[in-house]
Structure 1
Amino acid sequence: MKFSNLSVLYINCTLKKSPQESHTETLMKVSQRILEKENVAFETIRLIDEDVAVGIYPDMTEHGFEKDSWPEIFKKVMAADVLIIGTPIWLGEKSSEAQKLIERLYAMSGKTNKKGQYIFYGKVGGCLVTGNEDGIKHCAMGILYAMQHVGYSIPPQADCGWIGRVGPGPSYGDTEFKDKKINPPVGFDSDFTNRNTTFMTYNLLHLAKMLKENNGYDNYGNSREEWDDGTHWGFENPEYR
């Protein structure tokens, strides 16, 4: 199985600016080691390190913001076959940075590709979640719904994550907590996390490979441009029969 013609973009939505340690990024690296073995190109962006404005327009400098690095990040989003959104859990929800990212993706979703389809058609999405409280499935549900809604394709088992005990405590990858050495690092021996991270990574690659080999989706029945031009395929509004 060859995946070397694919590329993956990880966007880490931690609330910690570099060079602070991100536990979400620690789990991302587990997935990335798989990509390295499969010769898949990847890049990681820590969103909080960038001047990404809040908003639902492609370039927020046109709407009162002094800076907005989203247009440059969007180029990397479009260059990648797979987008993996990573987030910590806070109060049972994805981070504010993750929500901002989803809103900026939504801002681009009205654009169309060469087939007249929405711009993210043919791209694959997944998510990765870490925390010290319940919420992996809840966060994944919201992120993956949003991704498919704007046009990303979601394969089976497209999420993975790790959570510790409810409440304060060690986070994924920690090696020391309250002056007590923890060996191996926290979470590294979790078969559930290791299995789901592996399955997620390969399922994203499999779907991306299939889509790329078939030039994405056929645009019969899903072209926004053709619909606007009057082509409605098999649709007939019962009110006008």
Structure 2
Amino acid sequence: MRALVLNCTLKASPARSNTDSLADVVVDALEKQDVQVSRIRLADLDIKPGVTSDEGTGDEWPGVHEQLLASDILVVATPTWVGRPSSIAQRMLERMDAMISETDDQDRPVAYNKVAGVVVTGNEDGAHHVISELAGGLGDIGYTIPGQAWTYWNKGPGPGPSYDETGYGHDWSAKTGRAMASNLVAVAKALQASPVPAPPD
């Protein structure tokens, strides 16, 4: 089984990403269940604006799209900015919109029988809103969203330390991240055993 983590931090490598740090918990839990995990930091790529799977010369989204198609599990990890997903997360959804009309050899949308979950960080509130926006979009694209397929961390209202700058709340976020990984794998296995069929005419 294969998983892909798309980190939607605004920080390009090699800058340390708080979002990566929390995603590490989920990755570790997935790997302990023998899931092969790949990770992409989208800020490192030139992803053109658009709603197709290939926007032409210089666009690096096609490589991401290829990995999406090859993965059973998708984890989208994003910071919270102004109470919303990052602009990179929004661009990711816009590019994934093309997958709604792409089908496999059994006429199923290509995201059918794949599962997805969400990791959110931020030193402000808004995590549940971010989870809802991303999970809703991924569901529209065709992904199955298991129950409690998310984890998050935030400090609470107002300015303050980021995830890597404090141990506050880490135990809860880690426990929730391990539950997220378990639920993703369980539902992915269930879909492999009993796939969702193509939509009726």
TM-score (norm 2): 0.95
Rounded Cα–Cα distance in structure 2 between residues aligned with 1:27 and 1:200: 12
In structure 2, the residue matched to 1:57 is 52
Q: Which consecutive unaligned segments of at least 5 residues does structure 1 have? A: 1-5, 175-184, 228-241
Rounded Cα–Cα distance in structure 2 between residues aligned with 1:192 and 1:73: 31
In structure 1, the residue matched to 2:167 is 186
Rounded Cα–Cα distance in structure 1 between residues aligned with 2:79 and 2:85: 6
Q: Please point out which of 147, 155, 176 is paired with 1:196.
A: 176
In structure 2, the residue matched to 1:218 is 197
Map 1:118-129; keep pairs closer than 5 Å: 118-129=109-120
Shift of 1:173: 2.2
Shift of 1:169: 1.7
**Is 1:40 equivalent to 2:35 in the alignment?**
yes
In structure 2, the residue matched to 1:93 is 84
Q: Please point out which of 59, 65, 69 is paired with 1:74.
A: 65
DSSP-derived class of the 1:60 partner: coil
Q: Give 1:43's aligned amino acid.
A: S
Task: Work out whether residues 118 and 149 of structure 2, in 8 Å CA contact, stay in contact via their aligned partners in 1.
Answer: yes
Rounded Cα–Cα distance in structure 2 between residues aligned with 1:71 and 1:93: 26
Q: Percent same amino acid among aligned pairs? A: 37
Alignment deviations for residues 191-215 of structure 1 (CA, whole Å, 9 cap, x no partner): 431221111111011000111123x
Greater C-alpha radius of gyration: 1
Rounded Cα–Cα distance in structure 2 between residues aligned with 1:35 and 1:58: 27
Rounded Cα–Cα distance in structure 2 between residues aligned with 1:97 and 1:111: 22
Q: Give 2:167's aligned amino acid.
A: V
Rounded Cα–Cα distance in structure 2 between residues aligned with 1:106 and 1:151: 10
Runs ≥4 in structure 1, deviation > 6 angstroms? none
Rounded Cα–Cα distance in structure 2 between residues aligned with 1:15 and 1:28: 15
TM-score (norm 1): 0.80
The alignment's C-alpha RMSD in Å is 1.3
